[in-house]
Amino acid sequence: MSLTAPLGLIGRSVLRAFAGVGRVAIFAARAASHIFRAPFYGREALNALLQIGWLSLPVVGMTALFTGGALALQIYSGGARFSAEAVVPQIVAIGMVRELGPVLVGLMIAARVTSSIAAEIATMKVTEQIDALVTLSTNPMKYLVAPRLLAGLVVVPLLVGVGDVIGIFGGWFVATSSLGFNPAAYLKNTLDFLEPLDVISSLVKGCAFGGIAALMGCYHGMHSGRGAQGVGRATKGSVEAAAVLILAANFLLTGVFFSI
Amino acid sequence: MTNDATPMIALEGVSKSFGRKHVLRGVDLIVPKGTSMVIIGGSGTGKSVTLKCVLGLVEPDAGTIRVDGRDMHEGDRDAFLARFGMLFQGGALFDSLPVWQNVAFRLLRGALKRPRREAREIAIEKLRRVGLTPDVADAFPAELSGGMQKRVGLARAIAADPEIIFFDEPTTGLDPIMAGVINDLIREIVTEMGATAMTITHDMSSVRAIADHVAMLHDGVIKWTGPVSEMDSAADPFLQQFIHGRAEGPIAAVR
Model pLDDT, residue A104: 95
B109/A138 CB distance under 8 A: yes
Region A27-54: mean pLDDT is 93
Residue A82: its pLDDT value, please?
85
Q: Is residue B8 helix, strand or coil?
A: coil
Q: Evaluate if residue A2 carries a pLDDT over 80.
A: no
Residue-wise pLDDT for B192-244, tens only, equals 888 999 999 988 888 999 999 999 999 899 999 999 999 988 888 888 888 88
Candidate from B90, B110, B112 with C-beta closest to A39: B110
Instruction: Give B104-151 pLDDT, tens digit per residue.
Output: 999 998 878 899 999 999 999 999 988 889 999 999 999 998 888 988
Q: How far is CA A146 from CA A127, A153, A223, B1, in A?
A: 21, 11, 16, 38
Q: Measure A175 CA to nearest chain B CA, in Å.
A: 46
Name the region of A137 (left: φ>0; alpha: ψ -120 to 50; beta: rest).
left
Residues A89 and A40: their CA atoms lie apart, in Å, by: 45
Inter-chain touch B109–A127, beta carbons under 8 Å:
no
Task: Tell me the DSSP string of B23-79.
Answer: EEEEEEEEE-TT-EEEEE--TTSSHHHHHHHHHTSS--SEEEEEETTEETTSS-HHH
The pLDDT of A124-149, averaged and rounded, is 94
pLDDT of residue A1: 60
d(CA A99, CA B6): 67
Taking CB atoms and an 8 Å cutoff, what residues of chain A touch B55?
Answer: 131, 134-135
In sequence order, the 6+-apart residues with CB closer than 8 A to the CB of A167 are A64, A65, A67, A68, A71, A92, A96, A100, A101
Domain ranges in chain B are 1-68+197-254
CA terminus-to-terminus distance, chain A? 53
Distance from CA of B67 to the nearest CA of A (A): 15
* Whether the Cβ atoms of residue A148 and residue A53 lie closer than 8 Å to each other: no
SS3 B109: coil
> A209 to chain B, minimum CA–CA distance in Å?
26
Pairing of β B84-87 and β B21-31: unpaired
Give chain B's count of helices (H) and strands (E). Answer: 8, 10
Q: What confidence score (pLDDT) does residue B255 get?
A: 55
Optimal mutation site among A37, A136, A139, A148, interface B, most CBs of chain B within 10 A: A136
Amino acid at B246: R
Residue of B52, B93, B110 with shortest CB distance to A137: B110
Average pLDDT, chain A: 93
Kindly report the nearest CA distance between residue A146 and chain B, in angstroms.
Answer: 16
Q: Is B199 helix (H, G, I), strand (E, B) or coil?
A: strand
Q: Cβ–Cβ of B92/A129 closer than 8 Å?
A: yes
**pLDDT beyond 60 at B26:** yes
The ipTM of this complex is 0.86
In chain A, positions 126-145, which contact chain B (CB-CB < 8 Å)? 127-129, 131-132, 134-138
Burial-class residue B175 by CB neighbours within 10 Å (0-12, 13-18, 19+). exposed
CA distance A10 to B51: 40
Q: Domain B1-68+197-254 in CATH: superfamily?
A: P-loop containing nucleotide triphosphate hydrolases (3.40.50.300)
H-run or E-run covering B198 = strand B196-201
Inter-CA distances, A134 with A33, A91, A174, B34, B92, Å: 18, 52, 54, 24, 12
Contact A136 B94 (CB under 8 A): no
Q: What is the pLDDT of residues A210-238, one digit of tens each?
A: 999 999 999 999 999 989 999 999 999 99
- The whole-angstrom separation of Cα B255 and Cα B248 is 14
Confidence band, pLDDT 50/70/90 cuts, at residue A85:
confident
The average pLDDT across A91-98 equals: 94
What value does the mean pLDDT take over residues B27-47? 91
Q: Does B75 touch chain A (CB under 8 A)?
A: no
Cβ–Cβ gap B94/A131 under 8 Å? no
Q: Do A128 and B55 touch (CB under 8 A)?
A: no
Residue B69 scores a pLDDT above 70:
yes
In whole angstroms, how far apart are CA B136 and each of B151, B154, B196?
11, 14, 29
d(CA B238, CA A56): 58
Chain A closest CA to B17's CA: distance in Å?
Answer: 18
Question: What is the share, in percent, of chain B residues with pLDDT greater than 70?
Answer: 97
Give domain limits for chain A.
17-259
Of the residues B49, B54, B57, the best mutation for testing chain A's interface (the one with the most A CB atoms within 10 Å of its CB) is B57
- Across the interface, whether the CB atoms of A132 and B106 are under 8 A apart is answered no
B78 contacts on A by Cβ (under 8 Å) = 137
Element (H, E) at A70: helix A57-80
- Geometric angle at alpha carbon B163, from B130 and B152, rounded to 5°: 25
Q: Is the peptide bond before A6 cis (omega within 30 degrees of 0)?
A: no
Measured between CA atoms, the residue of chain B closest to residue A41 is B109
Shortest distance between the Cα of B246 and any Cα of chain A, in A, equals 30
